[in-house]
Amino acid sequence: MKVLIVGSGGREHALAWKVSQSPKVKEVIAAPGNPGIEKIGRCVDIKPTDVEGLAEFAQKEKIDLTIVGPEAPLVAGIVDEFESRGLRIFGPSKAAAKLEGSKVFAKEMMRKYGVPTAEFQVFDNPEEAKRYVREKGVPIVVKADGLAAGKGVVVAKTVEEAIEAIDRIMVEKVFGESGNRVVIEECLEGEEASYLVITDGKNFVPLATAQDHKAVFDGDEGPNTGGMGAYSPAPVLSEDMEREVQERVIKPILEGMRREGAPFKGVLYAGLMITEKGPMVLEFNVRFGDPEAQALMRRLEDDLVDVSLSSIEGNLVEELHWKPETSICVVLASKGYPGRYEKGKEITGIEEAEKVPTVVVFHAGTAVKDGKLVTNGGRVLNVTALGRDIVEARERAYRAIEKIHFEGMHYRKDIGMKALKRKGTI
């Protein structure tokens, strides 16, 4: 089989790495890919949002399966385009991808189908939004309606901060059309967790639990990013909590999407806040999380090709199998991320890092310039490791990180610490 991976980040490198291990696969191709993927497959210079170009390439190359990494092509309708040409592609339709493409749509679906989530209001007028914030008080959460690469959510601790967020999103349009509307919602307290399932539109099979770290600095301080690290499994999601999430979140939203005429196939990701009242949904994503995918692919024992095809063909696998070890992913970012950052800084030490037992480094924002590997994005590398427990996985990942260098390299030192606290180890 020839498998096409759409995207260029660490998640896509992890998916390509996993797919390349399948005995069914003779070639892995990525569009546009990155220098890490190039070591295990072929990269072609087609943008993820060039839906027609990708479909034409897949037809010409006789691609047997396409797996989409990022949300933008899914929201743009890549699945519909591929399926109209008789091409097999893993992911939700354009109508189903609205669950991530519009926070307003997602919140209204949750309200309609009884999925627990924060109280909210929707605004298309910035002055009315500001008035509501002054009435409600803080802390309060301001969200751009559309896609914003994980940066369109502001947890405002002061009224001034909330008003500034409304101005940036709705007036200055820092996220373009995504800021035409905002969702303003109550600020939930608790611990965040990621719960992902693979579904064929009717049935679903859960992935192992994981926890992302959104804020840029240790202790969950600073602005939200696309994700600074993850680990799996996540102790915050006990077996009882998992069952509750399945019954109160996953089943109702899948049933709701079917009723709305947009059955959901592919990966459904519920971003949760585990509160005193139980699990509450912060957001839905319609693809593998990044960096959760990097941690999960290190533990998945099944053939990702088989799993993907079972979703597409409507005969979903009954369960997934996972390595017993704990996995961790630590993101190495450019100085200034998620704000402005410089590119073109030389990267050294990856080969040395991968000599640490179980360590695999996935490329995210890298490029080759004048024969040297350089930074080419906000999130640059993902250092992953396995261990008997979170202590050993952390030790290996951070030992590997010490061997990697690029100017301005920034990373969180506390990935996985919540698991240690929950287990009473610290």
Q: Mind giving me the DSSP string for 246-288?
A: IIIIIHHHHHHHHHTT---EEEEEEEEEEETTEEEEEEEESS-
pLDDT, tens only, 394-417: 999 999 999 999 999 999 999 999
**Which of 132, 153, 186 is the C-terminal boundary of a domain?**
186
Residues 206 and 259 in one domain: yes
Residues 125 and 64 in one domain: no
Q: What pTM, to 2 d.p., does this model score?
A: 0.95
Query: Is residue 76 in a domain?
Result: yes
Assign residue 373 the CATH number of its domain: 3.90.600.10
For the CA atoms of 348, 215, 106, 5, the dihedral, rounded to the nearest 10 degrees, stands at 10
3 state SS of 141? strand
> Do residues 364 and 13 touch, judged by C-beta distance below 8 A?
yes
Query: Is residue 154 in a domain?
Result: yes
* pLDDT above 60 for 162: yes
pLDDT, tens only, 273-314: 999 999 999 999 999 999 999 999 999 999 999 999 999 999
Binning pLDDT at 50, 70 and 90, where does residue 224 land? confident
Kindly state the percentage of the chain with pLDDT values over 70. 99
Write the CB contacts of 395 (distance below 8 Å, at least 6 apart in sequence).
Answer: 387
Binning pLDDT at 50, 70 and 90, where does residue 158 land? very high
Query: Is residue 379 in a domain?
Result: yes
* pLDDT above 70 for 19: yes
pLDDT, tens only, 59-114: 999 999 999 999 999 999 999 999 999 999 999 999 999 999 999 999 999 999 99
**Which of 258, 290, 312 is the C-terminal boundary of a domain?**
312
Query: Is residue 49 in a domain?
Result: yes
> From residue 359, how far is each of 43, 175, 393, 397 by CA, in Å?
24, 36, 9, 7
Which of 285, 271, 281, 291 lies closest to 225, judged by CA? 291
Residue 191 CA to residue 275 CA, distance in Å, equals 7
Residues 286 and 335 in one domain: no
Residue 246 CA to residue 263 CA, distance in Å, equals 17
Residue 412 CA to residue 217 CA, distance in Å, equals 6
* pLDDT above 70 for 425: no
Beta bridge partners of 281: 117, 272
Residue 362 CA to residue 377 CA, distance in Å, equals 14
Binning pLDDT at 50, 70 and 90, where does residue 426 land? low
- The amino acid present at 70, given as its one-letter code, is P
Residues 143 and 254 in one domain: no
Query: Is residue 226 in a domain?
Result: yes
pLDDT, tens only, 170-221: 999 999 999 999 999 999 999 999 999 999 999 999 999 999 999 999 999 9
Residue 79 CA to residue 357 CA, distance in Å, equals 39
236 torsion bin: left (phi>0), alpha (psi -120 to 50), beta (else): alpha
Assign residue 165 the CATH number of its domain: 3.30.1490.20
3 state SS of 328? strand
Query: Is residue 63 in a domain?
Result: yes
Residues 252 and 196 in one domain: yes
Residues 195 and 304 in one domain: yes
Residues 204 and 281 in one domain: yes
Count structural domains, the chain: 4
Residue 226 CA to residue 212 CA, distance in Å, equals 10
Assign residue 56 the CATH number of its domain: 3.40.50.20
Q: Radius of gyration (Cα) for the chain, nearest Å?
A: 20
Binning pLDDT at 50, 70 and 90, where does residue 233 land? very high
Residue 263 CA to residue 274 CA, distance in Å, equals 27
**Which of 90, 109, 137 is the C-terminal boundary of a domain?**
90
Residues 198 and 182 in one domain: no
Residues 218 and 236 in one domain: yes
Residues 225 and 273 in one domain: yes
Residues 290 and 248 in one domain: yes
> Do residues 4 and 65 touch, judged by C-beta distance below 8 A?
yes
Query: Is residue 110 in a domain?
Result: no
Q: What is the mean pLDDT of the chain?
A: 96
Domain region containing 401: 326-422
Residues 217 and 307 in one domain: yes
Assign residue 218 the CATH number of its domain: 3.30.470.20
